[in-house]
Amino acid sequence: MTVIEPFLLSLLSAPGLSGSEGPVSKIIAEKWRPLVDEISSSRLGSLHALRRSAVEGKRPSLMIAAHMDAVGLVVTKIENGFLLITAVGGVDDRILPGQAVIVHGKREIPGIVQMIPDRLMPSNLTNEPLRFSRLFVDTGFDQKELEKFVQIGDVISFAQPPILFKDDYIAGHSLDNRASIAALTVCLEELKNYNLQWDVWAVATVQEEGTLRGAATSSYEIRPDIAIALDVTFAKGPGSNNHMTFPMGKGITIGIGSNVHPALTGIFKKIAEEIDMPYAMEPMPRSSGTDSMAMQITADGIPNMVIGIPIRYMHTPVEMASINDIMRAGRLLARFITSLETNALETIFSGKSS
Amino acid sequence: MKELIRKFTQTAGPSGYESAVRNVIREELKSYASNIQVDTLGNLIVRVGEKNRNGLSILVAAHMDEIGVIVSHVEKNGLVRFSNIGTVFPRFLPGSRVVFLNGTRGVVNNEKPEDITKIPKFEKFFIDVGAASDKDCPVKIGDLAVFEGEFADYGLNIVSKALDNRAACALLIETIKQIKTTPHELIFVFSTQEEVGSRGALTAAFGIEADLGFALDVTPASHILGTKMQCDLGKGPAIKVRDVNFISDPGVVNWMIDGAKKIRVPYQLEILDVGSTDARSIQMTRSGIASGALSIPCRYVHSPSEMINMNDYQNMIALMVRLLTNPVSLG
């Protein structure tokens, strides 16, 4: 068992949908408190943890954002004792029927996502996956009881417990992006024994799924000189082996494209090679689909980097990742941070270092 | 009260071209507020009250722009091709009428469809202004028009084009009229360009730096139309919990619910699967602002015949006055 495993398991067992990140935020704050010099919350609820530089006076700062919110469901209507639902974030509705869920009302209520039985379906729909409009959550309560505990807007999280597989694979409902929270924690632990030249902000952002609100507002508040988004990306798997996917368990991905700064892409490649860390280049021709989209255009602009951890079955209750890759992402970030000299901004962006 | 809504809805103001609406609103406000400004993007900003010890600076935004169309090309035969300003649904287009900002009127129709059971694509539509050729066409590329949709009084319900969002603009003015004292600094923004991405509210909120902000808008009351959203006319103002681009601050939601309960007006909770409001821009200003939204339930949003309920309207004014004249607790 790796050192990060128990923490990762606790992250994967906690709810924390976009806009309702409270429970997972608490767990992260507890874990990070001994690893950083100060910790606070933004107005929108993002967790800001600072490892202060050992250098006196003015020094540059780095922000690493890993979003802590997860996709899930939300109640739109209570009808005849059933909950009608829609998505929080980009949930893949094809896999929802039969899933166990928890409804976060006045109290937590177990439920299952269900649908019209196959034999009773309108014939034009029998061969298609059911979209949200035909799915509902059954809690066993009748309308009257349900209205006592549940109101429109209450979120519904997946109840799937995490599963540890042979070797280093793990599955769970919010590896996107708790895998990155774990990686960022690995990084903070690695940094424990170092004096840092830069201020380093570890930020667990809120509301990434769909709106990127946490990263936009946190990067405005912190105004780092460099920002890194740590997020998951698509791993290769059955039927998905094209150029948009990356091998799982075989290293992290380094972003390249207009959303990241070319000098940072160069630096990260160099560092990965120096420490023999396997990596794949992840082309981001338009935008990265990560917190970097918001951070790059904050205030007068921030140079960005995106580091990816490949996972399978994105946005389902059983996403799968490699714990090795999570450790690698954390170690790569730590290596980058410890390599930063106080004058690094000049060396990186003048092109001298690569 | 209905007269004000009539006047506002029947004034043309597509996104980016809100000046006529702004003038009507400013005229109406003159006797109730002294501190009125217009910023670079055309937002009309009205300040009322001063922040005292228990007070906050509260930003309330109601957009004054409406959807419309813009001429993209005039055919040799005089028919006018157009593009959309904001979300214009093709299903409402056939047979609708438009009026250009230069006064030219036209009817919208489409090329003969291959399949009459399907709604034609947007590019199949044109505006006929009665011109025989491109040379004598009274409109040219870049001219804007809004949809025609007369105001109609059905008694409890009213119908018009542009109730989205002139109903909220009128409601905000009725609210301002009723506020006598407040512990807060209230900053009311009649915002521009909401229908094309909440741009007015974005810059206004950045300039204002409020402690708390919320949007006033309409929300689809499509309960009767077989959707899974539970919102209908006559059941009270809608307190937004989330929409496509926005998640309300839970503290703001509770503050609004408590306010409604205190004055015993009915309310509905709003979850929206399509669309958004100025709240999304207010929330992500600078390092973030606690934000929410209050909506007037409205049927047939973005059609030339939108419908709202006057009880909802009155109840929302009462709720607004309650919220803005008492100390705020977001606990």
The answer to whether position B28 is within a domain reads yes
Same domain assignment for residues B213 and B133? no
For chain A, counts of helices (H) and of strands (E) = 9, 17
Same domain assignment for residues B251 and B201? yes
In the set B185, B194, B270, B306, the catalytic residue is: B194
Q: How many residues does chain A have?
A: 354
Least confident of A87-96, A194-203, B293-302: A87-96
CATH code assigned at B303: 3.40.630.10
pLDDT at B275: 81
Same domain assignment for residues B201 and B300? yes
A86 vs B253: CB contact, 8 Å cut-off? Answer: no
B173 near B325, Cβ under 8 Å?
A: no
pLDDT at B81: 97
pLDDT at A352: 58
Same domain assignment for residues B309 and B179? yes
Question: Hey, is A173 helix, strand or coil?
Answer: coil
Contact list in B for residue A152 (CB cut-off 8 A) is: 230, 241, 268-271
The answer to whether position B155 is within a domain reads no
Same domain assignment for residues B59 and B78? no
Question: Of B104, B124, B147, which residue is a domain's last?
Answer: B147
- In the structure, what pLDDT confidence band is assigned to residue A239 with cuts at 50, 70 and 90? confident
Same domain assignment for residues B51 and B95? no
pLDDT of residue A219 exceeding 80: yes
pLDDT of residue B32 exceeding 60: yes
Number of domains in chain B: 2
Same domain assignment for residues B197 and B118? no
Same domain assignment for residues B165 and B197? yes
Interface residues of A toward B, Cβ cutoff 8 Å, are 18-20, 42-44, 74-79, 84-86, 88, 133, 151-153, 207, 210-211, 213, 216-218, 220-221
Rounded Cα distance, B291 and B301, in Å: 23
Contact list in A for residue B246 (CB cut-off 8 A) is: 211
Average pLDDT over all residues of chain B = 95
Contact list in A for residue B269 (CB cut-off 8 A) is: 151-153
pLDDT at B103: 97
CA distance A323 to chain B (A): 32
The answer to whether position B217 is within a domain reads yes
- Where are the strands (E) in chain B, listed by range? 35-38, 44-48, 57-63, 68-74, 80-85, 97-100, 105-110, 125-128, 144-147, 152-153, 157-160, 185-191, 212-220, 238-243, 246-247, 268-271, 290-298, 306-309
| pLDDT over 90, % of chain A | 84
Same domain assignment for residues B226 and B245? yes
pLDDT of residue A353 exceeding 60: no
Pairing of strands B105-110, B97-100: antiparallel
Q: Is the peptide bond before B165 cis (omega within 30 degrees of 0)?
A: yes
Rounded Cα distance, A259 and A293, in Å: 7
What's phi and psi for B225, nearest 5 deg?
-95, 15
Tens digits of residue pLDDT in B270-324: 998 888 899 999 999 999 999 999 999 999 999 999 999 999 999 999 999 999 9
Rounded Cα distance, B168 and B269, in Å: 18
Query: What is A72-158's CATH number?
Result: 2.40.30.40
Over residues B37-47, mean pLDDT: 97
Over residues A214-241, mean pLDDT: 95
Identify the domain containing residue B142 by its residue range: 68-147
Q: Which of A20, A78, A217 sits opposite B287 (nearest CB)?
A: A217
pLDDT at A128: 65
The answer to whether position B189 is within a domain reads yes
Tens digits of residue pLDDT in B185-207: 999 999 999 999 999 999 999 99
Same domain assignment for residues B17 and B104? no
pLDDT at B172: 98
pLDDT of residue A350 exceeding 80: yes
Give residue for tokens 């209520």.
A109
CATH code assigned at B136: 2.40.30.40
The answer to whether position B227 is within a domain reads yes
Question: Hey, is A168 helix, strand or coil?
Answer: coil
Domain boundaries, chain A: 5-70+173-349, 72-158
Same domain assignment for residues B190 and B278? yes
Tens digits of residue pLDDT in A292-306: 999 999 999 999 999
Rounded Cα distance, A171 and A318, in Å: 5
pLDDT of residue A354 exceeding 50: no
Same domain assignment for residues B216 and B319? yes
Question: Of B147, B172, B190, which residue is a domain's last?
Answer: B147
Tens digits of residue pLDDT in B226-280: 667 788 999 999 999 999 889 999 999 999 999 999 999 999 999 988 888 999 9
Tens digits of residue pLDDT in A104-136: 999 999 999 998 777 777 777 666 666 777 899
Query: What is A5-70+173-349's CATH number?
Result: 3.40.630.10
